[in-house]
């Protein structure tokens, strides 16, 4: 694994720390201003606006390095504004300025260029797979630190939190100075070879299906569920997500070992299917401890498909179109999550289990269709 790939992985970790922290605290932070339904709408808005930025970002006619400087600086400024002003409207403006998605997942304008750079430096298939595993391992490791912080920091001061997040965002900016982001040639969709065009089209639709389901069970919405149904504190939410993220982080490291044995496609489908069965069981028994157990069991395989997916799309898509295709996939995934938080916020007071049953069922359908479509690819 090249040194540039390590730097990129650390930069992703810093961003994941920020986004994970924001996703968990937002329902608690906004509770002072708005009700449950409005929280869902604000999470929905954050996902929608960040999708818009992801879609427009590749169109900027400047070097990839400059793009990364701009987007990381904007995030730092957005967080700094929340440190200076404890205000609802400033919070909304900062979501827009920093392209912040409250989904809890790092679906950001940065990722497509980072992933292209990693596929550029890691040309060997085995090295690429393990590098994307480390890339995601660092990300989930950072979410563990965020959860531990929230668990230990019981008497939370939101201004202090935003100050810490501003410093982390500045660290990401500094890291980008030391990363050489390769420049790619711009290829129009009409100039793609038919096989690549077919993959971009079919994967976009499949990923949108998975992401639509994921919108029901974002970190913010899961945090909201446990707060609403079990009346937990922010510290308890932090403890729950420590367990979630520790389990997820360990599973990320196991993923490339599985894919080297059974292939990328089967790793994606088999592990994802198991996780979705456990996801649907989370609300079945109305006991906090049992809901937590099923949530933890879900996380044992929930994200094992991510390194395999990143490796797959950065292998079967021709190199010079990878930034564009990664941006398309990010925009599609982010955009498809938009309805979820709004629907969950509206249904929460009537039927809280809906988010897990609908999300898990739709994700299982995605797994089946994906396997039928791509089972013959032998990588």
Is the residue at 217 inside a domain? yes
23-63 confidence digits (pLDDT tens): 888 888 888 888 877 887 888 888 888 888 887 877 788 88
Mean pLDDT on 161-187? 89
**Domain CATH number, residue 307:** 1.20.1250.20
Is the residue at 30 inside a domain? yes
Query: Looking at the 3D structure of the chain, how many domains does it have?
Result: 1
Closest CA to 292 of 302, 281, 305, 301: 281
- In this structure, the number of other CB atoms found within 10 A of the CB of residue 263 comes to 16
Domain carrying residue 14: 3-178+189-374
pLDDT grade, residue 188 (50/70/90)?
A: low
Q: How far apart are CA 218 and CA 27, in angstroms?
A: 12
Mean pLDDT on 112-139? 84
Is the residue at 323 inside a domain? yes
Is the residue at 139 inside a domain? yes
Is the residue at 184 inside a domain? no
Is the residue at 379 inside a domain? no
Percentage of the chain exceeding pLDDT 90 = 36
Q: Which residues contact 368 (CB under 8 A, 6 or more apart)?
A: none
DSSP string for 187-245: --GGGS-HHHHHHHHHHHHHHHHHHHHHGGG-HHHHHHHHHHHH---HHHHHHHHHHHH
Question: Can you give the C-alpha Rg of the chain in angstroms?
Answer: 19
Is the residue at 183 inside a domain? no
Is 138 in contact with 17 (CB distance < 8 Å)?
no
pTM for the model: 0.75
Is the residue at 358 inside a domain? yes
């Amino acid at each position: 694994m090249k040194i540039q790939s390590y730097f990129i992985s650390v930069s992703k970790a810093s961003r994941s720390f920020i986004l994970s922290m924001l996703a968990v605290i937002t329902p608690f932070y906004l509770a002072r201003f708005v009700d449950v339904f409005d929280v869902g709408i604000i999470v929905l808005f954050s996902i929608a606006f960040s999708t818009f930025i992801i879609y427009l970002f590749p169109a900027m006619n400047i070097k990839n390095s400059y793009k990364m400087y701009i987007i990381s600086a904007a995030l730092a400024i957005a967080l700094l504004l929340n440190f200076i002003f404890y205000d609802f409207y400033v919070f909304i403006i900062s979501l827009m300025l920093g392209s912040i998605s409250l989904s809890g997942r790092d679906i950001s304008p940065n990722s497509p260029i980072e992933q292209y750079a990693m596929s550029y430096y890691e040309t060997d298939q085995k090295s690429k797979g393990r590098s994307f595993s480390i890339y995601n391992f660092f990300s989930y490791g950072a979410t563990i630190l965020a959860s531990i912080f929230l668990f230990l920091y019981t008497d939370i001061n939101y201004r202090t939190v935003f100050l810490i997040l501003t410093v982390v965002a500045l660290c990401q900016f500094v890291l980008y100075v030391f990363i050489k982001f390769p420049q790619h040639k711009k290829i129009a969709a009409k100039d793609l070879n038919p096989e690549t065009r077919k993959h971009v089209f079919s994967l976009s639709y499949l990923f949108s299906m998975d992401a639509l389901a994921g919108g029901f069970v974002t970190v913010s919405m899961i945090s909201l569920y446990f707060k609403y149904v079990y009346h937990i504190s922010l510290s308890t939410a932090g403890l729950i997500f420590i367990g979630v993220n520790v389990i997820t982080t360990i599973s990320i490291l196991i993923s490339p070992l599985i894919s080297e044995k059974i292939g990328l496609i089967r790793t994606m489908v088999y592990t994802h299917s198991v996780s979705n069965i456990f996801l649907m069981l989370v609300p079945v028994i109305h006991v906090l401890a049992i809901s937590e157990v099923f949530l933890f069991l879900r996380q044992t395989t929930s994200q094992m498909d991510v390194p395999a997916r990143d490796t797959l799309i950065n292998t079967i898509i021709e190199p010079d179109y990878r930034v564009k295709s990664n941006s398309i996939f990010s925009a599609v995934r982010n955009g498809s999550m938009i309805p979820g938080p709004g629907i969950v916020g509206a249904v929460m007071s009537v039927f809280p289990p809906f988010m897990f049953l609908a999300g898990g069922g739709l994700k299982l359908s995605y797994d089946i269709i994906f396997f039928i479509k791509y089972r013959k690819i032998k990588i």
